[in-house]
Structure 1
Amino acid sequence: MIDLKLLTFITVAKIKNFTRAARILNITQPAVSQHIRALEQYYNVKLLHKDGKEMKVTQEGKLLLKYALELERISKMIKIELNNKSSIINRYFVGATLTIGGYVLPEIIGKYRRLHENTDIILYVENTQSIIKRLFSGDISLGVVEGPFNKSKVKYKKFKDDELVLALSPDHDLANEKSVTIEDVLKNKLILREEGSGTRKFFENKLIEAGYNLEDMNIYMEIGNITALISLVEANIGCTIISKEAIKGSLESNKLKVIPIDNFKIIREFNFIYLDHIHETFINDFIRFCNKN
């Protein structure tokens, strides 16, 4: 269990206010001040300073915060591992981005569960940024993401390639075209995922690499829910750039069509991301299983 004084410091660093931190921790404000003062005396440095109405973290405080957050993460991992040791069912927490979590992993987790009856996998499905935050906070042991991430800060292994395609209704004006230009796509009503999603970020990076400005896009709607986005495109409200994995059912039922984009193929990677911790056996086993299925 992480030291309460360090937990207090982490909370104040995030909230930037002693009073609100005290309410979150369910302790008094004087207790918060006492915890911070004790840490400053122990390390012989100033950790926080007041800037207007907010408490700001000093350079020395930022260094302590880095290690305190790592201790908090490890503490959560140890708790999960110890609970697993004393339980018949081992429980692990995995995070996946919306395309992977909604259309790729569920079937694989089902197969894994049938072969490992004493293992439960709890799946969080969120956008790339949220999954990375959960990984560093210790809420998940393993992430599976579709978007760009800082490869110097995590361990990672490739899962599979994924293609982003132009999808539209059979009734769309471009539906009978053999192919279209990227300019045709950008001037149409685009229904895209929300900012922060891996799909959106990868498409934007691809446009920038090709010399286009993001302002060139005619974004008609931004949707956080993939199912809702697909339904809107099926209803011919607009077109979208989306993972081919996510629209397999719509393509099979002829509710959507994929039109090739001239000289603009969008191939990305699905990646497993993880950190050094005690769940290495599960992580390696689950990654091997995913790559085989």
Structure 2
Amino acid sequence: MPLSARLPALDELETAHLAAERGSVGAAARELGISQQAASARIRAVERRLGLVLFTRSPRGVVVTARAVPVMEWIGDLLRAGEHLAEGVASVTGCGRATVATSMTIAEYLLPAWIMALRLRHPGVEVAVSTGNTDAVVAAVLADEVQLGFVEGPASPVGVTALPFAQDELVLVVPPGHPWAGRDDVTPEELRATRLVLREPGSGTRGTLEAALPGLAPPLVELGTTAAVKAAALAGCRATVLSRLAVRNELDEGRLVAVPVRGLDLTRSLQMIRRPDRPVRGAAADLLEVALQPRPAAAG
């Protein structure tokens, strides 16, 4: 008997597996964009074909029965194999979709060039991007909301597989009218005692600075984007610490001045992160290949 006659349809298996993961038929239905009645019908079709009751139902949701626990694991294996097939075909045909979360610095100063290079190779590829600070990107990766994350920081985030691909440098910058603008350098103690304009806690920039220089004075102001930090520093003639990538134009144009910090190492690693159980395939693998190519823009 052919396999197709012995197993439920793929959409039916997907619905049952999603209901098991979410603990709710209604939640599975909403995620799949179908009615709860249609989702229940798919699950009943799986149970009929397999001759097995999959769930114990209650007002609080559904729980996988003891006999169905290994079956759900096997269904998961089948669905992952199907996803591998779909991603592989998309890669071969030059189509497909990559879902990515990136920290703000990478999103603003590196990702656009990666996407353009990817589209030149594979015009049919789509890239869906969400941005946030490093903590938010790690959370999105761990929740399986995206295939890849790109972050920066002094150490690899916990719980994910990380691949460093470049080095970046943080730099202390001030507007030309600031008292430090004419200095050869400042000491770590001076920087530690100064109230700076900074990114918010949870950002890779803030984390790197705090790891290199513990005991910083409370920030003068905290802002959620690199552009806002630069604008505030310029408007108030204040000092800030940002990626050299982010201030390259302002330094070239003389609107900001870089001030060395004596003996302080502010280099950090740019890293790709993924869930340990989610290999990178398809369009996401194509994007990663582009990102891993050495580029002058990715260096400190």
TM-score for both structures, normalised by structure 1: 0.71
Answer yes or no: is the 8 Å Cα contact 1:81–1:278 preserved in 2.
Answer: no
Give the equivalent residue in structure 2 for 1:254. Answer: 254
Change (3 A) 1:8 1:288: closer
Give the equivalent residue in structure 1 for 2:66. Answer: 42
Q: Secondary structure at the match of 1:189?
A: coil
Give the equivalent residue in structure 1 for 2:143. Answer: 137
Structure 2 residue 199 is matched with structure 1 residue 193: yes
Answer yes or no: is the 8 Å Cα contact 1:145–1:270 preserved in 2.
Answer: yes
Which sections of structure 1, spanning at least 5 residues, go unmatched? 12-20, 45-66
Q: Secondary structure at the match of 1:101?
A: helix
Give the letter for the 2:243 counterpart: S
Structure 2 residue 294 is matched with structure 1 residue 292: yes
Answer yes or no: is the 8 Å Cα contact 2:118–2:286 preserved in 1.
Answer: no
Q: Secondary structure at the match of 1:217?
A: coil
CA distance in 2, matches of 1:134, 1:187: 35
Answer yes or no: is the 8 Å Cα contact 2:95–2:122 preserved in 1.
Answer: no
CA distance in 2, matches of 1:247, 1:226: 9
Q: Secondary structure at the match of 2:184?
A: coil
User: Which of the two has higher C-alpha Rg?
Assistant: 2
Structure 2 residue 98 is matched with structure 1 residue 33: no
CA distance in 2, matches of 1:107, 1:128: 20
Answer yes or no: is the 8 Å Cα contact 2:102–2:151 preserved in 1.
Answer: yes
CA distance in 2, matches of 1:80, 1:131: 25
Q: Secondary structure at the match of 1:230?
A: helix
Give the equivalent residue in structure 1 for 2:133. Answer: 127
Give the equivalent residue in structure 1 for 2:163. Answer: 157
Identity score, percent: 24
TM-score for both structures, normalised by structure 2: 0.70
Structure 2 residue 254 is matched with structure 1 residue 228: no
Answer yes or no: is the 8 Å Cα contact 2:172–2:241 preserved in 1.
Answer: yes
Q: CA deviation at 1:5?
A: 4.1
CA distance in 2, matches of 1:229, 1:135: 26
Q: CA deviation at 1:193?
A: 0.6
Q: Secondary structure at the match of 1:219?
A: coil
Q: CA deviation at 1:206?
A: 1.3
Kindly report the root-mean-square deviation, in angstroms, between the aligned alpha carbons of the 2 structures.
3.8
Change (3 A) 1:151 1:176: closer
- Identify the range of structure 1 (276-285 vs 247-256) with the bigger mean alpha-carbon deviation: 276-285
Answer yes or no: is the 8 Å Cα contact 2:91–2:282 preserved in 1.
Answer: no
1:5-154 equivalence runs, <5 A? 5-9=19-23, 33=59, 35-36=61-62, 38-39=63-64, 42=66, 81=87, 84=90, 89-147=95-153, 153-154=159-160
CA distance in 1, matches of 2:183, 2:147: 45
Q: CA deviation at 1:133?
A: 1.5
CA distance in 1, matches of 2:254, 2:82: 47
Which sections of structure 2, spanning at least 5 residues, go unmatched? 1-13, 37-56, 296-300
Count of aligned residue pairs for this structure pair? 252
Q: CA deviation at 1:78?
A: 6.5
Deviation per CA, 1:190-235: give whole Å up to 9, x if none: 0111111111111111123xxxx2xx41410000011111111122
CA distance in 2, matches of 1:32, 1:167: 60
CA distance in 2, matches of 1:222, 1:155: 30
Q: CA deviation at 1:285?
A: 3.7
